[in-house]
Structure 1
Amino acid sequence: MNNQIKVALIDDESLFTEGLVLLFSTVKHITVVATAAHGIKFLDDLLNIPPVDFPEIILADIQMKPMDGFELVEILKKKYPGLKIIILSSHYKNNVFGHMIKLGVSAFLPKNANLKLLVEAIESVHKTGVFFSQKDHLMLVSYMKGKSKSHDLNAIRNLSEREIEVIKLICLEYTNDEIADKLFLSRRTVESHRQRILDKIGAKNTVGLVVYAIAHQIYIPPQHFDSV
C-alpha cells in the first residue's frame, strides 16, 4: 500500500458508496480503507483502524442521519486536524459552499462529478490540502460579494512581494519543497513565509489561504469548464 492515497467514504446511500468503491478499484493509487453509513459509525470505526490503514482523506455527504455532514466535519476537525475532508453533495450551491469554507473542508464537489474530477480533486487535496474547480471559483466570488472586505485591506497591503509570490505558487498547487526549488529558498524559509502569510490574513490553513487569494484577486484560477 506504499504510495497509495488512503480514503474513507461516509454516505447513507449504500448504492452510491458501493459504486464509488467499485470506481476507485480501477484507480491504482487510490485505496478505500473504510466506509460507513453515517458519522457516528465512522467515528467509532476510526478508533479501531490501525495506523497503517488510517485514512488520509475523507469523502462525506452532508445529508445523513443521525449525524449530518456538518457536525461530522466539525468533530473531525477537532479530533483529527490532520485529516483532509472532501464533501460530495447534491446540494452544491452558494450558501452551502460558504458554510463549507467556514468549516475548512479541502474540497466541495457535486455528487454527479465524474471519476476524472474526483481523482483530480483527491490528488490535489493529498498534495496541497485543497482543490477548487472553476465552478467553485464562481461560487466563491458570489459568496464573497455579500461580505465586507474592508477589514482585509490592511492585510493585503502588509503582504510583501515575496509573500504574494508564495501565495500564488501555493494556489498553483506547488508543495513547500517545489516552492523552495522554484524560488531558490530553503524549505524552512518557505514554511516561515507560509505561516507569516496565514498570520497576516487571519487564515487557519491552506484552504483559507486559497479562499483569501481568490477572493482578493491575488490568484485567478484558469478559465476552463469542469465536466460532471
Structure 2
Amino acid sequence: MEPQSNSPKKILFIDEQPICRLGLESLIERYPQFNLLGFATKLDDVEPSSISPDVIAIDIVAAMPNGIRSLTDLKRKFSHASILVVTSLDESLFAERCLRAGAQGFSMKTAPIEELIQALDDVSRGRLYLSSKMRALILNRMSGHEAERSRSRFERLSDRELLIVQHISQSMENREIAKQMKISIKTIESHRSRIKSKLQLSSPSELVKFAIRLQNKAF
C-alpha cells in the first residue's frame, strides 16, 4: 500500500562527483514533493542515527570497493528507506543485479530529467522503477525473445568482474580501473585472469574484444 502522507519525501544523495551533486541539488529544489536532506560522498559518511531519509539515491561508484554488494548492507542499515541507483553504468548489464541486491529502482545519469523525477517519485511511494527500455528488455527475456547465449556468458561474472569488463570496454588501463574501483592494481590483474578463465578467453586481446562486444550488445 502506498503511503498516504502528503509531506515531502526526504531524499539523500550519495555521489562522489561535485558537478552531479550541484546539478541534482538545483533540480530537486524545483520539486516541492521532495525535501533534499543533503549529500554524502561515500557510504561511511552516513549513519541512521543522524539522518532518516525516505529515499537514498546512490551512484555505485560511491559504494566502492564493494560496489553492488554494498546495497544489501545499505538496505539493512536504512530499513525504512527505498534505494534508487542513479549511475552511468549500463542498465542492461547492472539494473537487475542492483534490484537483487536491495535497490527499488535504477536510473542512468544519461536519462531525461523527467525520468529521474519519476524514478524518485515511484520508489518514494514503494514502487519499483525501471526505464521503459529496461522493462521491455526484461519482458523480451521472459518471453524467450532475447538470445540466451550472450546473457549466460556475462552472468558467469561476479558484480565486480562485470564492472571491470565495462571499464575495459571503455579502454581503461588497469591503473585507471584500480583507482576508479578503489582496489589495488594486483587485484585488478587477478580479476582479469579469472574473467578470462570463466569466459574461456585465451588472451588479453580476446578479453578486450569480448568487453567491447558486450557493451555494444553485439553477440
User: TM-score, with normalisation over the residues of structure 2?
Assistant: 0.57
Q: Any idea what the Cα deviations from partners look like across 1:168-195, whole Å, max 9, x if unmatched?
A: xxxxxxxxxxxxxxxxxxxxxxxxxxxx
Residue 173 of structure 2 is matched in structure 1 by none
Structure 1 pair 11–143 and aligned structure 2 pair: CA distance change class (3 A)? farther
Q: Kindly provide the amino acid, as one letter, of the partner of residue 113 in structure 1.
A: A
Residues 67-125 of structure 1 show CA distances to partners (whole Å, capped at 9, x for unaligned) of 45424311122222221011011112322123112113111111122321111111111
> Could you tell me how far apart the structure 2 residues matched to 1:115 and 1:82 are?
26
Q: Write the letter of the residue equivalent to 1:59.
A: A
For residue 49 of structure 2, what is the aligned residue in structure 1? 47
Q: What is the number of residues matched between the two proteins?
A: 142
- Segments of structure 1 that go 5 or more residues without pairing to the other structure are 149-228
Structure-2 change in CA distance of 1:143 and 1:13 (3 Å): farther
Which residue identity is paired with 2:40? Answer: A
Residue 32 of structure 1 aligns with which residue? 36
When residues 66 and 100 of structure 1 are mapped into structure 2, their CA distance, relative to the original with a 3 A threshold, is closer
Question: Structure 2 residue aligned with 1:92, among 83, 90, 93?
Answer: 90
- Partner Cα distance (1:118, 1:134) in 2: 12
Structure 2 counterpart of 1:115: 113
The AA in structure 1 aligned to 2:17 is: E
Runs of 4+ with >3 A deviation: 65-69, 141-148
CA distance change for structure 1 residues 69 and 85 in 2, over 3 Å: closer, same or farther?
Answer: farther
2:58 alignment partner, one of 55, 60, 67: 60
Deviations 1:49-71 (A, max 9, x none): 2xxxx210011001236545424
Contact conserved, 2:91 with 2:107, CA < 8 A, in 1?
no
Distance, in Å, in 2 between the alignment partners of 1:129 and 1:81 is 15
What SS does the aligned partner of 1:97 have? Answer: helix
8 A contact 2:63–2:70 mirrored in 1: no
Percent identity reads 21
Alignment check: 8 A CA contact 2:16 2:41 kept: yes
Quick one: which of 8, 15, 39 aligns to 1:11? Answer: 15
Segments of 5+ residues of structure 2 without an aligned counterpart are 153-219
Which amino acid in 2 is paired with 1:88? V
Q: Secondary structure at the match of 1:63?
A: helix
Report the RMSD for the aligned CA atoms in angstroms. Answer: 2.5
